[in-house]
Chains A and B, each alone.
Chain A
């Protein structure tokens, strides 16, 4: 077990900067998820920690050791790959025991470790099978098993669930979380799936274009995104963004979105005064919009609702995603199934103004 510290690490491919001066401190036993869209540098960062990619600048520490020039085999790490990377010519037992045999562990200990790992992962009966005789989920378990038999200081996961079907992915997600609780080892997990990030990570690192956008707990990222990118990336469906002008009438601030006027709660007034008459991006999560006729969750009054027209209704069973238009804006709302509406109908949508977000139009940085 060990902490992992990245200090200004950089990676370039020719003129393209894949990772740009990332600094990060991952505590011992922490489960950190690197998340971001394709090409954001998350996998490159993980590969640099593993030693599979040389770094062009900065320092990486595993525990107290500077590992910049340490080969992967001496970093005491284990990695699980997206496509499992099992050795096809070896059976499951040998796949798991290979690393221990290389390090000349006594045979008894190898047996014991493989047996223990197989028990944890429920693959005892698969030990004599070759990888091609296994299903995707079983292969994934073997890949994890191969990592855990070595009792490494740090586990690295590179999109390990991407190749599994949706149901198995949810199951394996829970199993990996349980595994972390059981092993109490530092884990760094890369995914492009924000649901995986939200459900598994103690902390999430959101990346974009080789830069860290925000580091925080899942709820921090959800409730207090630092910029429009993080706000849009975290949460399903994505946050609604509407271009508005902040206006002041008397003592009150409100957002003018052409087709609606939304009153700003007094608590934000001091923060927003300097932005009056400026164009801003108004963000609201689909879960913070309600049908004003049925919802009792928020008390509404004039200036907290928007008149919309229904474009698409997507019933999901427990709730429904409603796609709406209001003036030039398109909005998604997650409403409960009590709302009965149909395409083309008018609906009055209430906004929980205590949970709204405002971003600068130029820098996209969050104001509230």
Chain B
């Protein structure tokens, strides 16, 4: 039986096919470097140079063990120590960031005070400042505060640079938070602080955790400040650089290290995928 599809249907199908084709190609282009990194991390040094784009001749799983625990020689790079450093920086940064940005966003969204609109525009303007342009002044500031090579320096910098983004996301969420719930709590006997801690935060934990998760990925992957401010107490992203020597570079161990460094972010993304997407679209869609 011959079915005569209308011409518009055929055009639509071709367009759809083309659209998906481009999307798949784009996806592969994005994915290829990551896959290449994982595959190369499983190669022996000989394989790495002889077949840079092929599958490993021998699957060198020991690369990951060596990267994680270090080689049996002095001065070897032990990634698990760097991971601990990263956690020491990341967890307090997130706690402070979440607390400060949620209080700031709630105030901006729900209270009327002099300069509120200016302050909000200021947060948006801060987003436009590239971190590279302030790196020297931040370095000098930390030096004068004697905070170079301390965890505190990185915590402060991470919190400061993530606040504008978090506040802007949360302000749009808190704007849509029903004022009647806040007012009902005020009438039954809450102070504003109690309204925030007993009512607003528990109801908004989805939105707040979404923002925290997005920030975790940003802070975990932060390199520039960690490299400049903390050359001694290295975080994971900086530690991996140690594989690159002046004369030789252990590429396979470096790639194994990089693979390990990306695992928490990727796991985090897959576990909290919904929250991350929600975090990025907070306030954009009416719930």
* Residues on A facing B (Cβ under 8 Å): 50-52, 71-73, 75, 77-79, 81-83, 85-89, 98-99, 102-103, 146, 150
Contacts and interface: CB of A to CB of B under 8 A. Distances in A.
B186 A73 contact: yes
A52 B202 CA distance: 23
Given A89-B202, A89-B203, A99 B180 contact: no
A102 B202 contact: no
Give the interface centre of B184, B185, B199, B203 by most chain A CB atoms within 10 Å.
B184
B202 A73 contact: no
A102 B194 contact: yes
A146 B188 contact: yes
Contacts of B198: 98
Given A87-B199, A87-B203, A89-B203, A99 B181 contact: no
Contacts of A150: 188
Contacts of B189: 73, 99, 102-103
B42 to A, nearest CB: 47
B190 interface: yes
Contacts of B186: 52, 71-73
Given A73-B189, A102-B194, A103-B189, A79 B184 contact: yes
B62 interface: no
Contact of B187 (A79, A83, A87): A79
A88 B187 contact: no
A79 B183 contact: yes
Interface of B: 178, 180-181, 183-191, 194, 198-199, 202-203
Nearest to A99: B188
Main secondary structure of the interface of B (DSSP, over half): helix
Contacts of B203: 87-89
A102 B190 contact: yes
Nearest to B188: A99
Given A73-B188, A98-B188, A146-B188, A85 B194 contact: no
A73 B181 contact: no
A85 B190 contact: no
Contact of B185 (A78, A87, A103): A87
A82 B150 CA distance: 54
Contacts of A83: 178, 180
A86 B180 CA distance: 9
Contacts of B180: 81-83, 85
Nearest to B183: A52
B146 to A, nearest CB: 44
Contacts of A86: 181, 184
A87 B181 contact: yes
B80 to A, nearest CB: 39
In the A-B complex, the 3 residue pairs with the smallest Cβ-Cβ separation, listed nearest first, are A99-B188, A85-B180, A85-B184
B184 A81 contact: yes
B110 to A, nearest CB: 13
Give the interface centre of B187, B189, B190, B203 by most chain A CB atoms within 10 Å.
B187
B178 A85 contact: yes
A83 B183 CA distance: 12
B187 A72 contact: yes
B217 to A, nearest CB: 27
Contacts of A77: 187
A288 B189 CA distance: 51
Nearest to A82: B180
A103 B190 CA distance: 9
Contacts of A71: 186
A51 B112 CA distance: 16
A72 B189 CA distance: 8
Contacts of B190: 73, 102
23 contacts: A51-B187, A73-B187, A73-B188, A73-B190, A73-B191, A77-B187, A78-B188, A79-B183, A81-B180, A82-B180, A83-B178, A83-B180, A85-B178, A85-B180, A85-B184, A87-B184, A87-B185, A87-B199, A89-B202, A102-B189, A102-B190, A102-B194, A146-B184
A150 B189 CA distance: 10
A51 B190 CA distance: 13
B188 A85 contact: no
A132 to B, nearest CB: 12
A312 B46 CA distance: 95
Contact of B181 (A78, A79, A82, A85): A85
Contacts of A87: 181, 184-185, 199, 203
B219 to A, nearest CB: 28
Given A77-B187, A85-B183, A87-B181, 18 more contacts: A50-B183, A71-B186, A72-B186, A72-B187, A73-B186, A73-B187, A75-B187, A78-B188, A83-B180, A85-B184, A87-B185, A89-B202, A89-B203, A99-B188, A102-B189, A102-B194, A146-B184, A150-B188
A147 to B, nearest CB: 9
A75 B189 CA distance: 10
Contacts of A85: 178, 180-181, 183-184
A297 to B, nearest CB: 48
A73 B184 CA distance: 10
Contacts of A51: 187
